[in-house]
Amino acid sequence: MKFQRQRREEININLTPLIDVVFLLLIFFMISTTFTRESHLTISLPEASADGSAEQPAETIDVVIGAQGQYAVNGEALVSNDALTLRQAIMKLAGDARDVPFVITADAQAAHQSVVTVMDVAGRLGFSQLSITTQKASGD
């Protein structure tokens, strides 16, 4: 007895829908991705001298940061510890002058974010003479 073989259909995989799905996923991720724009400040850090007698010019903007993150601009405490209040106080004090020396004095226990906020506000306002004060250790 002779059996006739059945013709086998050739198996075909259609890649078109797979390519379409991958392409749509690529477009979705490209559109939904957020790109952050980081701003950088160029700062020249001060060097502490052994004698500790630094002469400051008569007209400076001195921002003091307390241990709890409270700000004081030229000896006057601010009512709020946010960047907008700090910006308004600095603009009121400096006016249009941006070449005035800007001094930041921070408590050792102050949060790093508080110091960065002051540096960011000063940089955005256009101050170019930014400096951070140092204190001589009490044991020396």
Is 94 contained in some domain? Answer: yes
> Residues 6 or more apart from 78 whose CB is under 8 A from it?
70, 71, 72, 85, 86, 89
Is residue 121 exposed (0-12), middle (13-18) or buried (19+ Cβ within 10 Å)? buried
Residue 98 resides in a domain: yes
Is residue 119 one of the residues assigned to a domain?
yes
Residue 106's DSSP bridge partners are 65
How crowded is residue 37: how many other Cβ atoms within 10 Å of its Cβ?
A: 4
CATH code, 102: 3.30.420.270
Range of the domain at 86: 61-132
Scan for tokens 């009512």, then name that residue: 79
Res 56: pLDDT: 47
Residue range 8-42, pLDDT digits in tens = 788 888 899 999 999 999 999 988 887 777 777 67
**Amino acid 21: pLDDT:** 95
Q: Which residues of the chain have pLDDT under 50?
A: 56-58
Residue-level pLDDT at 123: 87
Residue 15 counted as domain residue = no
| 51 domain residue, yes or no | no
One-letter identity of residue 129: Q
104 within some domain: yes
Domain count, the chain: 1
This prediction has a pTM of: 0.55
The whole-number pLDDT of residue 75 equals 85
In a domain, residue 96? The reply is yes
